[in-house]
């Protein structure tokens, strides 16, 4: 029997029920100066691709300092220490790529509100000066 030895417990990873709409915390192994540390990347699963086969991937998006950051993780990567499902949401789509545009619209709305507030402050300041 010819078995491939993998550093990842494949059966355990196959049992993880990841769906789009889930909020997950992915613990990633990062090697710095010979030492390995764990770093969490928590965000929304936008897509799950290639099912449970060897090349399966999932895309996670999170907002970091007002900027959207997306990472594509291979499901069976030895770099991933563990995957935790933090929250489960019911969604009507398999791929949630439309969230990118939604976030952009929201940011532009916030910028517009800031601009309006500054203009109103400027008008009030001019009225007080007179």
pTM more than 0.75: no
In CATH terms, the fold of domain 1-95 is SH3 type barrels. (2.30.30)
- SS3 readout for 79-101: CEEEEEEEECCCCCCCCCCHHHH
SS3 state at 31: strand
> pLDDT tens digits for 80-127?
988 999 989 888 988 988 888 887 787 778 888 888 777 777 766 666
Query: Side-chain half-sphere of 92: how many Cα atoms within 13 Å?
Result: 1
Domain ranges for the chain, please list them: 1-95, 97-130
What's the confidence (pLDDT) of residue 24?
Answer: 92
């Amino acid at each position: 029997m010819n078995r491939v030895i993998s550093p990842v417990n494949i059966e355990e990873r196959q049992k993880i029920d990841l769906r789009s709409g889930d909020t997950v915390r992915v613990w990633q192994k990062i090697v710095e100066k010979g030492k390995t540390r764990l770093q969490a990347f928590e965000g929304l699963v936008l897509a799950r691709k290639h099912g449970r086969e060897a090349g399966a991937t999932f895309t996670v998006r999170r907002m970091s300092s007002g900027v959207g950051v997306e990472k594509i993780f291979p499901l069976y990567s030895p770099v991933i220490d563990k995957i935790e499902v933090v929250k489960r949401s019911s969604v009507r789509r398999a791929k949630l790529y439309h969230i990118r545009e939604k976030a952009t619209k929201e940011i532009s709305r916030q910028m517009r509100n800031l601009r309006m507030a500054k203009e109103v402050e400027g008008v009030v300041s001019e009225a007080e000066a007179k």
